[in-house]
Amino acid sequence: MTQARARRRDRQVYLRSHPLLFALLAATRRSPAVRLGGTVLAHSRGAYADGLTRVPLDRTAEGTTGGAAGRLTGGGLLFDQDGDAHRGTRRSLAESLSADGVARLRPVWIEVLGRRLAPLAAGRPVDLVDVAAELSGATAAALLGLDVDARALAAAARAAAAAGAREHLPGLPLPGRRRAAHRAARHLNDLLASGSGAAPPAAPARAGAPSTAGCPSGEAGGGDPAGTAADAGRGDADGLAAMLAVAAINTTVAGLPRAAAWCADADLWAYAESDLEALTSELLRVTAPTPLLPRVAAGSGSLAGRPVRRGDRLILVARHAVDGHRRDPEPADPAPPHVTQLVFGAGPHACPGARLARVQFADALAALAPYRPVVTAARVDRSSALPGWATLFVIPTRRPSPGSPTA
């Protein structure tokens, strides 16, 4: 019953922003892959994985994530790179986002959570969208070694992504939309440039850095986040900085409040104390913050047996690949890691920020849980790049006793 309430609320982020697309996906989802003219929709897990790992993709095509990143950054970088260039950039980023790198960055968002959730202790409401914006802006700034205001960075990254998404709405191309997208991208790049030159961020946290509890197992790496991603905030790597900020901030601002709302509506808070990792994984699975991955085939192949031709548009439906649409979150019996990890993509371009995102979501859920918050008001963001809330207010139903770890 409570899960039904949670699902009903979460569906609003799709229904209010893209009702026709949502209806089309719902109507076709029983087939593993469906062709509609020059577009192939990949619904099944196999079709989704084929699209990411077996079909050659045009990483710079208009209307794809890579194409948008390319225009945003003026150079494309990571999303559209292949071969040696991509592997080199990925390696540097992987070091910054390794278990050690995440542990060094973690105090940044722990501080934001402590400060921004404090009103709950006094029984006052908190807007979790605003908290997620500051938290992700502060994290991105620290990752890039930039001295910029966290909320200003988050606002610029959200505006750049939203304007980029609007530019690609179906219908006649509107020059106004293109100009708005360029303006928003320029504002983000200017902000990033104004903040470069800051001291490497994670240094103070190195001594006694906390563990990455809640982080799934994965390759533990060494590396120096300050000396790798931070360098991306300067010089000719500005494009990478913009792309990273957009990727990290928009997914977090969309995903974190949705996960918390589901947790509150379905009353899953107790799992944050008994099985935080499973709770985090399951909430990421059902909310699938990047529910659709738009791609273009650069050559022929097939999605779950359905032939794909060069130039076909592919819509890879992450939400369906992980059963987000039909299996409620079950922290006591979670989907296996190879399934839940698919919300972060697969193959050579899989999300390098997955570990950071998992630890950050787990920390936010753990910080909220003692208050057993409930949602009091929520408004869908109809213009954001990813389905999400514009505001989502929660109030506590319980106050942790003074002296408890989060009080």
Sites of contact with ligand HEM (CB under 6 A)? 52, 78-79, 90, 97, 143, 244, 247-248, 251-252, 255, 289-290, 293, 343-347, 349-353, 356-357
Beta bridge partners of 351: none
Q: Which is nearer to ligand HEM, 119 or 294 (CB)?
A: 294
Smallest distance, ligand HEM to C-beta of residue 368, A: 16
Of 143 and 154, the one with the shorter C-beta distance to ligand HEM is: 143
Between 120 and 357, name the residue whose CB sits nearer to ligand HEM. Answer: 357
CB of 309 to ligand HEM, least distance (A): 20
Q: How far is CA 289 from CA 2, 124, 253, in A?
A: 21, 28, 9
Q: Which is nearer to ligand HEM, 185 or 370 (CB)?
A: 185
Residue by residue, DSSP assigns 13-54 as HHHTT-HHHHHHHHHHTTSSEEEETTEEEE-SHHHHHHHHHT
Structure token pair of residue 44? 């099944």
CB-CB contact of 244 with 305 (8 Å)? no
Specify the residue, 228 or 252, whose C-beta has the smaller distance to ligand HEM: 252
Beta bridge partners of 371: none
The nearer residue to ligand HEM, 85 or 407, going by C-beta atoms, is 85
Q: Residue 375 CB, nearest distance to ligand HEM (Å)? A: 20
Do 10 and 286 contact (CB within 8 A), yes or no? Answer: yes
Q: Which residue has the tokens 């548009």?
A: 313
Distance from C-alpha of 286 to C-alpha of 360, rounded to nearest angstrom: 17
Nearest to 363 by CA among 111, 3, 95, 100: 111
To ligand HEM, the closest distance from the beta carbon of 287 in angstroms equals 8
Least distance (Å) between residue 99 CB and ligand HEM: 14
Smaller CB separation from ligand HEM, 313 or 372: 313
Which token pair is 68? Answer: 């948008």
Integer Cα distance of 270 and 257 in angstroms:
18
In whole angstroms, the minimum distance from the beta carbon of 141 to ligand HEM comes to 11
> What angle in degrees, to the nearest 10, is found between the helix axes of 238-265 and 175-195?
100
At its nearest, how many Å lie between ligand HEM and the CB of residue 383?
Answer: 20
